Amino acid sequence: PVCSMGNSTSRLYSALAKTLSSSAVSQHQDCLEQPDSAQLDPIDPKDLLEECQIVLQKRPPRFQRDFVDLKKNTASNHRPIRVMQWNILAQALGEGKDNFVQCPMEALKWEERKCLILEEILAYKPDILCLQEVDHYFDTFEPLLSRLGYQCTFFPKPWSPCLDVEQNNGPDGCALFFLKDRFELINSANIRLTAMKLKTNQVAIAQTLKCNETGRLFCVAVTHLKARTGWERFRSAQGDDLLQNLKSITQGAKIPLIICGDFNAEPTEEVYREFSNSSLNLNSAYKLLSPDGQSEPPYTTWKIRPSGECRHTLDYIWYSQHALKVNSALGLLTEEQIGPNRLPSFNYPSDHLSLVCDFSFNQDPDRLL
């Protein structure tokens, strides 16, 4: 099924419409290999944004969120690196398992919700995009984002809960995207997290990139830790395993590090303290929005389930504070913007808010001597 594109005819009709249905694959079981998206024509992001807006013309306009300038009168000698972290809500879970009692099913239709997700990505233009709960990677995000100039990597959960939902679109997992004209991939690792020496259902991707403009290396990682109350020790063990992996990959923090994730953990949890106190010298970027620079936001997810209202801070962008500085961060939605029915909604596609930060490298001390 292809959604109505409204009255306007778009040059990208086929690009967006093809991602709405995987029926073409099911009709040709003998050619299940993914097409090489690099061979497809590039897409102008403005054209794709216009296409999304045509699909969304009956929905309310996107929320206005402003960047907060965090620079302390320090000039950078290179263009900032914009990093976006977002749990986009797996389609199978949103429709089949998560039970958002105040969200109409109509608001969760993939044909429109995917355009809300793309609109948010296109609005903030990240250089690096880290997503969780991606269950439409091969039919939507990889084909479109690769044509926007991103290199794309996906690592699914071994036993994704999406597979329990009828008419699912395959497993969900973590995905990492970076702009090929800004960075060169040096090394990539798919990590299946362990806890108490047991392999778990949670994963991470860690990639070492070279910034083409400065020649400097840095590592970016994306992860999604185990959910639910009662699993705090499990999350702590997963976090410890991820930190051990990242220590090895960054040669003990010689290579600067950015870690994006839905940690499913409030700042009071042990796994948060592990990251705060790690020898990798990490800080949480969104703390810098608080007056004292020491407090996380009051929430990054806000939803209503049958058990009641859930408002939590679970999503983070960690960074090497010795090597990187945060120039700005995207402010969160206010309670008034979110509205009484909370998230997701006709206005907003996920139950988690996107986090976006602009980073720059600190001047290399060796070069100042």
Record the tokens describing residue 48, joined without a space: 């794709």
pLDDT tens digits along 338-354: 989 999 999 999 999 99
For residue 151, the number of C-alpha atoms closer than 13 Å in the C-beta half-sphere is 13
Coil/strand/helix, residue 237: helix
Give 123's DSSP letter: H
Query: Considering only 67-71, 76-80, 170-174, which range has the smallest mean pLDDT?
Result: 76-80
For 157, 193, 273, 274, 368, the CA distances from 229, given in Å and listed in that order, are 20, 19, 17, 18, 49
**Three-state secondary structure along 80-111?**
CEEEEEEECCCHHHHHHCCCCCCCCHHHHCHH
Alpha carbon of residue 37 to chain centroid: 21
pLDDT band at 291 (very low <50, low <70, confident <90, very high): very high
Element (H, E) at 173: strand 173-179
Q: Which residue has the tokens 């939507």?
A: 140
What is the C-alpha to C-alpha distance for residues 44 and 155, in angstroms, rounded to an integer? 27
What is the C-alpha to C-alpha distance for residues 85 and 128, in angstroms, rounded to an integer? 9
Handedness of CA 177, 182, 185, 191 (dihedral sign): negative
Average pLDDT of 259-274?
98
* Residue 368 or residue 165, greater confidence: 165
Which amino acid is located at 315 in the chain? D
What is the C-alpha to C-alpha distance for residues 224 and 260, in angstroms, rounded to an integer? 9
* Residue 327 or residue 253, greater confidence: 327
* Residue 76 or residue 182, greater confidence: 182
Q: What percent of the chain has pLDDT over 70?
A: 87
pLDDT tens digits along 143-198: 999 999 999 999 999 999 999 999 999 999 999 999 999 999 999 999 999 998 99
For 35, 154, 255, the CA distances from 367, given in Å and listed in that order, are 46, 37, 17
pLDDT band at 226 (very low <50, low <70, confident <90, very high): very high
Cα angle 128, 292, 81; round to 5: 15
What is the C-alpha to C-alpha distance for residues 58 and 150, in angstroms, rounded to an integer? 30
Element (H, E) at 122: helix 110-124
Record the tokens describing residue 341, joined without a space: 């029915």
What is the C-alpha to C-alpha distance for residues 125 and 103, in angstroms, rounded to an integer? 28
For residue 100, the number of C-alpha atoms closer than 13 Å in the C-beta half-sphere is 27
Q: Is the pLDDT of residue 109 over 80?
A: yes
Average pLDDT of 274-294?
96
Cα angle 356, 157, 120; round to 5: 25
Q: Is the pLDDT of residue 8 over 70?
A: no
- Taking alpha carbons only, the member of 86, 11, 18, 22 closest to residue 54 is 11
